[in-house]
Structure 1
Amino acid sequence: MSNEHYLHNPLIHADRRLGRHRSPWVRQFDCTHIAPLIICRGPIRKEAMDVFREMGISHFGILLSEKDSITYQNALAPELRAMTDPDRIHRVPDYTGANKEERDQRIRQIINIAHDNGYNAIFAGYGFMAEDETMVSAMEAAGLNFIGPCSRTVHDAGLKDEAKRTALKAGVSVTPGVDNATALTLLKKHPDAAALKALAHEKGLAVDAALFDDDSLALEDLADDVLAASYDKGIDLYTVDELCETLTEVVEKMATDYPENRVRLKAISGGGGKGQRILGIGEAARTPELAREILNEVKTTGVGDNKNILVELNIETTRHQEIQVLGNGDWCITLGGRD
């Protein structure tokens, strides 16, 4: 089958220049002033380029990882064939960096590329980088429009542990499991509010002093507050070995509670299926091995990285449904979904 069905399919391609619409209300959503830098890769990058052109956006650029050039030396992706101006192809060592320090460097590099080349917006696609709160907040602070959720929303919904806690507070059912393994690990070493307060003082962490005397705050939540301050400062309060020990204990308990089910380990960040491993029945001893694989895969092995990993019951018969939602805090609409 040729690609003509895709190239000339009216259900895929259309004139999206809203500034030419007959309705004044629709015309206010004209986007021709947007100049986006596309920082994702793969098919979504080409799709974004097509849609931006159909929206009347003429000035946009893309990142090109040096690793792509090394891996695919003799290949030329469709989006590169379509980019006739080489000045709009910006080379970077890789897209995300291998650790926290490199990620911060890459974020600064992306911001500099945008400022130096007249881009006023960032498009990160979906999953992985698009769910990186640090990156989104840095783009906002640099005066760039991030095409996607704001950093606060990414924090509340993009991190899987925060998303589960938000869902639980709203009375929404979630997959059985543990979402605070790092807090449990910290509490093994500092088991009460006084010990956590002493730790925060010793490490110079910016934690609201009133929290340590708040009897309504669960100890595990207080531990999470201390951990959040440690991530902001870029220091570790636990080792990977200590975390793996806690994760193993959690997996063993889940195996007791659900003896006929496998267990899924899942990184709190990332997307596109990254950072997930399944432990078979009776495989709790493999937890440290798989946990380290996850941390390496989502690149959270650096000092000061949030290394939390979810432990969940693996739902064997399920379907993955994604619903796109757009809202402003007062109202929201759904934009369709995919199975």
Structure 2
Amino acid sequence: MFTKVLIANRGEIACRVIRTCRKLGVRTVAVYSEADATAQHARLADEAWPIGGPRPQDSYLRGDAIIEVAKKSGAQAIHPGYGFLSENADFAEAVEAAGLVFIGPRAASMRKMGSKAGAKQLMDARGVPVVPGYTGEDQSPALLQAEGDRIGYPLMIKAAHGGGGKGMRIVRESGAFAAALESCQREAASAFGRDRVLLERYIGEPRHIEIQVFGDAHGNLIHLNERECSAQRRYQKVVEESPSPFLTPALRAQMGAAAVEAARAIDYVNAGTVEFIVGTDGDFYFMEINTRLQVEHPVTEMVTGLDLVEWQLRVAAGEALPQRQEDVRQHGHAIEVRLYAEDPAQGFLPGSGRLEVLRLPEPSAHVRVDAGVVEGDTVTIFYDPMIAKLIVWDLDRPRALARLREALADCEIVGPKSNIDFLEKLVRHPRVVEGSIHTAYLDRHLDEVLPRDEGLPDAHLAMAAAACLLHDEAATLDQATTSPDPHSPWAIADGWRLGHAGERLLHFTHGSERIELHAQGSGGHYRLLDAGIETRLARAAAVAGRLVAEVDGQQHRMRARADADTVTVHDGERRIRLSRVPAYRFAEGASATRGDRLNAPMPGRIVLVKAVPGQDVAEGEELLVMEAMKMELSLRSPRAGKVSAVQAVAGDFVDADAVLIRLETP
């Protein structure tokens, strides 16, 4: 076994690798960019080295800098994690050439999977089922049209060198083929530098099921059963689980055997994932092999009881696989979701900012949390906005789903917007509960799972008020204990004043709604007045981590958290967040219209400025392009008008809400 390993990655995967290394007594070396100087992976590792600027191309994609750190630090091997350089064959070769061990597959195996067309031809030759299609080198439009007509419609045109849904078109009839081909080739050339395409039969309502494979240098190669990842949005996985609710034991065995054969076809060593598309009739077809550890590997670990990173380290160190195929078990059911700093209401726009509050469930035999940040850390604009992975396990799928709902309800994120509400709604959707969702469902029915304003129930508002009142009373008492007279009657936060009953004002905003409550009482017993309507609260107190109170004679029990700025209550199914507003700001009323300026929706770098002062612009016209969270955002005019000022130039880094363009007042 190695004595020291460098981890060429960041965030939760780096922290996760560090945990296993520590368990095995292996020292770890972290690398970090300027943006990650105080990141958790750099703090958890035994030593950490800087490798460059905040942008990935200036740091985590600099293979030469990473290898240099490995040699200087005395590391014997490099674990690439996933993303960045994990599937870069040139980097794997450079690691080996430097006398170090790459903890992953051989470069030759990666290269065989580098071309989708070549991979498909290879698998077809080995008897692994592939979708009927065309992968030839002749790319003349006439031949491609003829091949499309031969395959039949609907079919897919896909970029041969690419991924992430780019360079992909669905064609439903012969007459639409030529235009779709031209569009696909243009996008492929722009995104990947090559416009070669392949054609495939389009499988309607497909399932996405992948098989975890593992090989060693001694010729052993096995699979560790499947994960289903059919809940997807724009080709990105949203829910991952094992075992698949769709597979029968017979189909599982067939797919497992095909996955092992696919891995043998490229002489695979270490961890990999063979991905299949599965039709409604159970026919399955090879898609690709991911030559690395997958983001969703924890669900496999939860149902098999294995540590896949430990297996990676042992195999890379020359050991044989710890188990044979017949030893692999599958016990219970595991599900994973990912918590992101993103705004589902704004097209899942990635977010950034300081995590003012980060509450995640307590780890247990049923709940696992893989995170790369803690409360107080900042989600930066330079990398993927994942906050944590939430993985649950129980004896069967219904119980695992119940665990997941409880675990999500225990999560609280204040700072950047998050996808928690979206996930909570998604895991209650009938198609997810039934296990019948397919890869295209969410894109067609996204409105069914997007959070929407459903009003503010009276009981939730009363419980939120109780949480705030109890918080304020406790804060006042805490402050009094440090004062010269901790027993002073003025240290009681009950609102009492000489000559009249005590009253406290609570001001909230909930969406566009502004709420003012008049509260009397203390110690968990309150009288609330909202626009003249009275509500009585009795015996409000924290009991076993929940707020319990009687609201007009009916007892309620909810999760509740309040501070000086926000309050959140959760009844087990629905989360309500309110912003607390100081009295002077509440009196000012709603903020002024922002139709005369264009603001940055998040921190980022200005890539292109199209507007100039004096220019007449139409509503929705693109005025700037900014880059943030590994994506480009088109910023458009909020209304028609004339540009009065441009306050950014290409290359500027701007903060969230910074004014970039001003329009003349009509």
Which is further off, 149-158 or 287-296? Answer: 287-296
Tell me the residue number matched to 1:116: 72
Higher relative contact order (CA 8 A, sep 6+): 1
Name the residue aligned to 1:79.
41
> What is the Cα deviation at residue 265 of structure 1?
0.8
Q: Who is 2:210 aligned against? A: 322
Structure-2 change in CA distance of 1:329 and 1:55 (3 Å)? closer
CA contact (8 A) 2:212 2:225 kept: yes
Where is the helix percentage greater, Structure 1 or Structure 2? 1
Give the % identical residues: 27
Amino acid at match of 2:149: T
Q: Secondary structure at the match of 1:322?
A: strand
Q: 2:193 aligned with 1:311, yes or no?
A: no
Cα distance in structure 2, aligned partners of 1:56 and 1:134: 30
Aligned to 2:185: 291
Residues 148-157 or 125-134, more deviating: 125-134
Taking the aligned partners of 2:148 and 2:107, their CA distance within structure 1 comes to: 36
d(CA) in 2 for partners of 1:254 and 1:293? 21
Q: Which amino acid aligns with 2:23?
A: E
Q: CA separation in 2, counterparts of 1:274 and 1:136?
A: 26
> Taking structure 1 as reference, are residues 77 and 275 closer, same or farther at Cα in structure 2, changes over 3 Å only?
farther
- Contact 2:158–2:168 (8 Å) recurs in 1: yes
The alpha carbon displacement at 1:178 in A equals 2.7
1:338 aligns with 2:227: yes
* SS of structure 1 residue aligned to 2:74: coil
1:37 CA displacement: 2.8
User: In structure 2, what is the Cα distance between the partners aligned to 1:127 and 1:313?
Assistant: 29
Q: Structure 2 CA distance, aligned partners of 1:76 and 1:276?
A: 38
Alignment RMSD (CA, Å): 3.7
Could you say which residue in structure 2 is the equivalent of 1:162? 118
Amino acid at match of 1:322: E
Give 2:20's aligned amino acid: V
Q: 2:494 maps to what in 1?
A: none
Instruction: For residues 63-97 of structure 1, give each alpha carbon's deviation from its aligned partner in whole angstroms, at most 9, with x where no partner exists.
Output: 43x6xx4xxx9x97653564585x43433564468
1:109-129 CA-partner distances (Å, limit 9, x unpaired): 332232233333222234673
Instruction: Pick closer, same or farther for the CA change 1:336–1:148 going to 2, 3 Å.
Output: farther
Distance 1:63 1:159 in 2: 31
Q: Is 2:138 the counterpart of 1:177? A: no
Candidates 49, 55, 66, aligned match of 2:18: 49
Say which one has the larger Rg.
2
CA pair 119-323 structure 1, distance change in 2 beyond 3 A:
same
Residue segments in structure 2 that go unaligned for 5+ positions in a row:
229-666
1:34–1:57 CA contact under 8 A, matched in 2: yes
Quick one: structure 1 residues 162 and 51, their matched pair in 2 at CA, closer, same or farther if it must change by over 3 Å? farther
Within the candidate set 18, 31, 40, 1:62 is matched to 31
Residue type matched to 1:53 in 2? Answer: R
- C-alpha distance after superposition, 1:24-74 (max 9, x if no partner): xxxxxxx341412323x554333223333333222221343x6xx4xxx9x
TM-score (norm 1): 0.53
Q: Deviations over 1:266-300 (max 9, x none)?
A: 44356xx3645233432541434433434544xx4
Alpha-carbon distance between aligned partners in 2 of 1:166 and 1:60, rounded to the nearest angstrom: 38
Shift >6 Å, 4+ stretches: none
Greater share of strand residues, 1 or 2? 2
Task: Using the TM superposition, give the Cα deviation of residue 106 of structure 1 relative to its aligned residue in structure 2, in angstroms.
Answer: 3.0
Q: Answer whether contact 2:29 2:75 (CA < 8 A) is retained.
A: yes
Report 1:154-233 matches (<5 A): 154-180=110-136, 183-185=137-139
Q: Which amino acid aligns with 2:185?
A: A
TM-score (norm 2): 0.29
Could you say what secondary structure the match of 1:337 adopts? strand
Letter of the aligned partner of 2:205 in structure 1? T
- Please give the secondary structure, in 2, of the residue aligned with 1:149: coil
| SS of aligned partner of 2:223 | strand
* Counterpart check, 1:257 vs 2:218: no
Letter of the 2:51 counterpart: H
Unaligned stretches of 5+ residues in structure 1 = 1-30, 186-245
